[in-house]
Structure 1
Amino acid sequence: MEQGDPGQEGGPAAVLIAGPTASGKSALALRLAQARDGVVINCDSMQVYRDLRIITARPTPEDEAAAPHALYGTVDAAVNFSAGAFVEAAAGALNEARSTGRLPIFIGGTGLYFKALTRGLSAVPPVPDAMRDEVRARLDRDGVQALHAELGLHDPEAAARLAPADRTRVARALEVVLATGKPLAQWHERGTPPLLPPVRVSAVFLAADRDTLYARIDARFAAMLQAGALEEVAALAERRLDPLLPAMKAHGVPAVMRYLRGEISLEEAAAIGAADTRHYAKRQFTWFRHQLPEFRWVRPDEADAHFAAVIPGCA
Structure 2
Amino acid sequence: MNKTLISIVGPTAIGKTALSIKLANHFNTEILSADSRQFFKEMQIGTAAPTPEELATAKHHFIHHKSIKDNYNVGAFEKDAISTLKTLFKTHDTVIMVGGSGLYVDAVSKGLDDFPDIENNIRETLNNDLKTKGLSYLQERLEQLDTAAYNKIAIDNPHRVIRALEICIGTGKPYSSFLKKGKIERPFKTITVGLSADREMIYNRINKRVDIMIQEGLLEEVKSLVPFKGLNALNTVGYKELFNYLDGEWTLDFAISEIKKNTRRFAKRQLTWFKKNAETFWFDYTTSKEHIITFISQNIS
Q: TM-score range by the shorter chain?
A: 0.7 to 0.9
1:247-272 deviation digits (Å, cap 9, x = unpaired): 22322211111111122222111111
TM-score (norm 1): 0.81
> Cα distance 1:92–1:265, how it changes in 2: closer, same or farther (>3 A)?
same
CA RMSD across the alignment: 3.0
Matches within 5 A, 1:200-219: 200-219=189-208
Corresponding residue of 1:220:
209
- 1:150 and 1:108 mapped to 2: Cα distance? 31
Residues 206, 297 of structure 1: 8 Å contact kept: yes
**Equivalent residue letter for 2:63:** Y
8 Å Cα contact 2:142-2:150 kept in structure 1: no
Equivalent residue, structure 2, for 1:82: 73
Bigger shift: 74-83 or 13-22? 74-83
Where does residue 23 of structure 1 map in the other structure?
A: 14
Q: Is the 8 A contact 1:91 1:195 kept in 2?
A: no
Deviation at 1:145, TM superposition (A): 5.8
The corresponding residue for 2:176 is 185
Structure 1 position 31, deviation (Å) = 1.4
Distance (Å, rounded) in 1 between the aligned partners of 2:241 and 2:262:
9
Q: Specify which of 283, 286, 296 is matched with residue 269 of structure 2.
A: 283
- The letter of the residue matching 2:264 is R
SS at match of 2:208: helix
- Which of these residues, 105, 108, 111, is aligned with residue 117 of structure 1? 108
Q: Deviations over 1:106-147 (max 9, x none)?
A: 101122223333333211245455543343124323445665
- Alpha-carbon distance between aligned partners in 2 of 1:122 and 1:56, rounded to the nearest angstrom: 27
Q: Compared with structure 1, are the counterparts of its residues 86 and 254 closer, same or farther at alpha carbon in structure 2 (3 Å cutoff)? A: same
Spell out, residue by residue over 1:24-44, the C-alpha distance to the aligned partner (whole angstroms, 9 max, x if none).
110111111122211111111
1:33-76: CA deviation from partner (whole Å, max 9, x where unpaired) = 12221111111121222221110101112211221101112233
- Correspondence for 2:227 among 220, 230, 238: 238
CA distance in 2, matches of 1:149, 1:261: 30
- How far the C-alpha of 1:167 sits from its partner, in A, is 4.0
Distance 1:288 1:77, change over 3 A: same
Cα deviation, 1:71-114, whole Å, max 9, x if unaligned, reads 11223324564332221122022112112326310101122223
Does 1:255 find its partner at 2:241?
yes
Provide the rounded CA distance (Å) in 2 between the counterparts of 1:87 and 1:163: 20
Aligned residue number for residue 260 of structure 2: 274
Instruction: Tell me the CA shift for residue 15 of structure 1.
Output: 0.6
* Aligned partner letter, 2:226: A
After TM superposition, the structure 1 stretch with the greater mean CA deviation from structure 2, 39-48 or 93-102, is 93-102
Greater Cα offset, 25-34 or 185-194: 185-194
1:296 aligns with 2:281: yes
- Give me the whole-angstrom Cα distance separating, in 1, the residues matched to 2:110 and 2:86: 18
Equivalent residue letter for 2:204: A
Relative to structure 2, which stretch is displaced further, 164-173 or 303-312?
164-173
Q: Distance in 2 between matches of 1:214 and 1:172?
A: 30
Q: Distance in 2 between matches of 1:264 and 1:208?
A: 32
Alignment length (residue pairs): 296
Distance in 2 (alpha carbons) for counterparts of 1:64 and 1:23? 18
In the superposition, the TM-score normalised over structure 2's length comes to: 0.84
Q: Distance in 2 between matches of 1:45 and 1:74?
A: 11
Aligned counterpart, 2:166: 175
Unpaired segments of 5 or more residues in structure 2?
none
